[in-house]
Amino acid sequence: MVTNAASFGRSGVHDYILIRASGIILACYTLFLLGFVLTSSPLTYDAWQGLFSALPMKVFTLLALVAVLVHAWIGVWQVLTDYIKPLMLRGFLQFVFVVLVLVYLLAGISIVWEV
């Protein structure tokens, strides 16, 4: 067995489940937003604010942001371990990407809760 600590999941199976579960959430969120944009004509500021001020939409958005974090963490780790062989460089890039998606999540929480 090959061990690793830098990925998000505890094992290959865990990563496999997480990346698919988060993918489903992101697909649902994208389809919902696409549907909203296509059916809300004209798409006014009020309609947009009305959508995001509802609690279910806030929760759905935060769920999607957490899904981005999980999906990107595992995906980037897989890509980096494929293509970047120098250990220090890979560790650094992994750190930068993880910090970036965490910032994305935290900023998202702040933005969504201010609507």
Partner 1 sequence: MNLEIAVYRYNPDVDTKPYMQDYSLELPEGTDMMVLDVLMKLKEQDPSLAFRRSCREGVCGSDGVNMNGKNGLACITPVSSFNGKKLVVRPLPGMPVVRDLIVDLTQFYKQYEKIKPYLINDDKTPAREHLQSIEDRAHLDGLYECIMCACCSTACPSFWWNPDKFIGPSGLLHAYRFLIDSRDTATEERLDALDDAYSVFRCHGIMNCVDVCPKGLNPTKAIGHIKSMLLKRAV
Instruction: Catalog residues that contact partner 1 under the rule CB under 8 A.
Output: 1-4, 7, 9, 11-17, 78, 81-83
- In 89-98, which positions are buried (b, 16+ CB within 10 angstroms) versus exposed (e)? ebeebbeebb
Specify the residue, 9 or 108, whose C-beta has the smaller distance to partner 1: 9
Contact 72, 103 (CB under 8 A): no
CB of 4 to partner 1, least distance (A): 5
Specify the residue, 20 or 102, whose C-beta has the smaller distance to partner 1: 20
CB of 17 to partner 1, least distance (A): 7
HSE (side-chain half, CA atoms, 13 Å) at 57: 16
CB of 90 to partner 1, least distance (A): 12
CB of 56 to partner 1, least distance (A): 28
Specify the residue, 1 or 55, whose C-beta has the smaller distance to partner 1: 1
Contact 22, 71 (CB under 8 A): yes
Give the gyration radius of the chain's Cα atoms. 17
